[in-house]
């Protein structure tokens, strides 16, 4: 259901993010993210003085190739549109992700390697949802986070609201684990 109607307004900015997960023939997985930022008005930078309304200010792609154990094996970036040509220099730094394993502590380690001036804010922003899509893609069918009976694995305890201590979802999980 959409949000309730708001006060009269005018859209100024549109950010679209598309995420896709693929299984490759070689047994690895590609997780791709695409981000665009578009203004409804013209603007510019000293280097690009004429961004027209509707023209992407940012149009960027990020692909992680991941093994089944969630280790990042390869990274590919493409920046079709940036406000500055200098931005393109941040793309190769994303190679610092190769060898990292997506899981607990990933975002902290990613920030240590690519935070601040080392990385591109927009490519970094794609990483968290890409990680979520990686879990959804790689754990298809019978997710490791869910038992054969469909209840969450007890190891998911306190990872989100529904899996919190005392929630009906976790209470049922603990009952099923005790009976099983």
Q: pTM to 2 decimals?
A: 0.82
CA separation for the pair 154, 146 (Å, rounded): 9
Per-residue pLDDT of 55-103, as tens digits, reads 999 999 999 999 999 999 999 999 999 998 999 999 999 999 999 999 8
pLDDT at 180: 65
Q: Name the nearest CA neighbour of 44 among 85, 83, 79.
A: 83
Task: With beta carbons less than 8 A apart as the criterion, state whether 118 and 127 touch.
Answer: no
Task: With beta carbons less than 8 A apart as the criterion, state whether 42 and 51 touch.
Answer: yes
């Amino acid at each position: 259901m959409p949000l309730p109607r708001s006060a009269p307004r005018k859209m100024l900015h549109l950010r679209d993010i598309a995420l896709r997960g693929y299984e490759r023939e070689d047994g690895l997985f590609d997780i791709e993210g695409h981000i665009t930022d578009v203004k409804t008005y013209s603007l510019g930078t000293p280097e690009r003085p004429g961004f027209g309304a509707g023209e992407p200010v940012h149009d960027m792609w990020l692909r992680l190739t991941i093994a089944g154990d969630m280790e990042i094996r390869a990274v590919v970036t493409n920046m079709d549109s940036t406000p500055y040509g200098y931005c393109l220099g941040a793309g190769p730094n994303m190679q610092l992700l190769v060898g990292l394993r997506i899981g607990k502590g990933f975002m902290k380690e990613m920030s240590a390697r690519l935070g601040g001036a080392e990385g591109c804010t927009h490519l970094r922003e794609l990483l968290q949802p890409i990680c979520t899509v990686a879990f959804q893609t790689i754990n298809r069918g019978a997710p490791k986070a869910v038992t054969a009976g469909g209840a969450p694995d007890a190891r998911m305890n306190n990872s989100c609201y529904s899996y919190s201590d005392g929630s009906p979802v976790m209470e049922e999980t603990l009952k099923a684990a005790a009976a099983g």
